[in-house]
Amino acid sequence: MANSSTKLLSTKEAAQFLGVNDKMVYVLVSEKGLPATKITGKWLFPLHLVEQWVEAHTINYPESANVLPPYHGLLIITGSNDPLLDRAITLFNSLHPDQVAVFGNLGSLGGLRALRQNLCHVASSHLLQDDAEEYNFDFASKEFNAMPAVVNFCRREQGLLVQRGNPKGIRSVADLAKPGICMANRPLSTGTRLLLDREFKRLGIAGDRIKGYQKELARHMEVGLEVLSGRADAGPAIRPVAGLLGLDFIPLRWERYDLLITKERFFDLGVQAFLGMLHEKAFVALTDDLEGYDLSFSGKMVFPKESADG
């Protein structure tokens, strides 16, 4: 539900805000996912969600004037949150005491934008494309004039966390819309949130009518703790969190979680050291107590494609 400070636009106001006619607003709702809710037969548009939707669909950004300084031992990674990535950064820092890796939790979309703005060396992302098969390419092509290199970090299983024993009998995303269900959510800029909203749209469910839909938590683990505490009955997150917290898990799909690097920074010392670490036994061992990861493709080039003998 919207909070008391949320400004709601009428169809006419939304059309004026977007610079289109009223009929086009309905087309954007049905075909482009413009955030909207129907109350007593009237369409209303939460202004803050419309603004986020406009930002998420912006293309042809101007070139950034920022220039990331030459690599001097600080490796900056931004983007999508992941427990294994957190462990990998800790491992990197222990293996390379003369360097420091840090992470900015901005969500997949935020990571791509930070990379475009030269604010980081690496962006982590798992944005599912409209074809429901590929990841990240369409989103990156809208952000960059030249496609960055894409290296796989891992594959991981996305789904819903529910309390142990699943007392509310939640079996699918559709069950989140049942009376009496309270959920926790992830921010709009995250791939996990975009996947959930995609499912809601496919099922014809108005997510913002579900209790807790507006409660956005920055990390998968925070969603897990919300469910574990009983403050939420369910929330979107990855299977490893369910295993760590002893929660039940309802799978949605396996996804590819990638690292994107611009060609200008690809051969920086820290970037190469981090990518090289993904082939080492110490990295593989990080998943010994984690379910829901597949490292069989970790460290492999997704784009540009590696040659058969490369």
Q: What is the pLDDT of residues 119-154, one digit of tens each?
A: 999 999 999 998 888 999 999 998 998 999 999 999
CB 236 within 8 Å of CB 223? yes
Q: 158-254 — its CATH code?
A: 3.40.190.10
What is the value of pTM for the model shown?
0.79
Euclidean distance between CA atoms 57 and 159, whole angstroms: 25
* Segment 60-94, tens digit of pLDDT: 555 555 678 899 999 999 999 999 999 999 999 99
Q: Is 74-155+257-303 assigned to CATH 3.40.47.10?
A: no
Fold match between domain 74-155+257-303 and domain 158-254? yes
Helix (H) or strand (E) holding 100: strand 100-105
Q: Greatest CA span in the chain, whole angstroms?
A: 63
* Segment 282-300, tens digit of pLDDT: 999 999 999 999 999 999 9
Least confident of 34-38, 60-64, 101-105, 150-154: 60-64
Q: What angle do CA 176, 214, 37 make, to 5 degrees?
A: 80
* Segment 171-214, tens digit of pLDDT: 999 999 999 999 999 998 999 999 999 999 999 999 989 999 99
Q: What percent of the chain has pLDDT over 70?
A: 93
* Segment 234-272, tens digit of pLDDT: 999 999 999 999 999 999 999 999 999 999 999 999 999
Tokens coding 216: 């956005």
Sequence spans of domains, the chain: 8-56, 74-155+257-303, 158-254
Contacts 24+ apart (CB under 8 A), 54-62: 54/18, 56/109, 56/188, 56/189, 57/32, 59/142, 59/143, 60/142, 61/113, 61/116, 61/143
Tokens coding 234: 């369910």
Predicted confidence band at 2 (pLDDT cuts at 50, 70, 90)? very low
CB 160 within 8 Å of CB 170? yes
pLDDT at 66: 62
Pair type for strands 234-238 and 248-261: unpaired
CB 96 within 8 Å of CB 149? no
Alpha-carbon separation of residue 185 from 66, 164, 192, 213 (angstroms):
33, 19, 9, 6
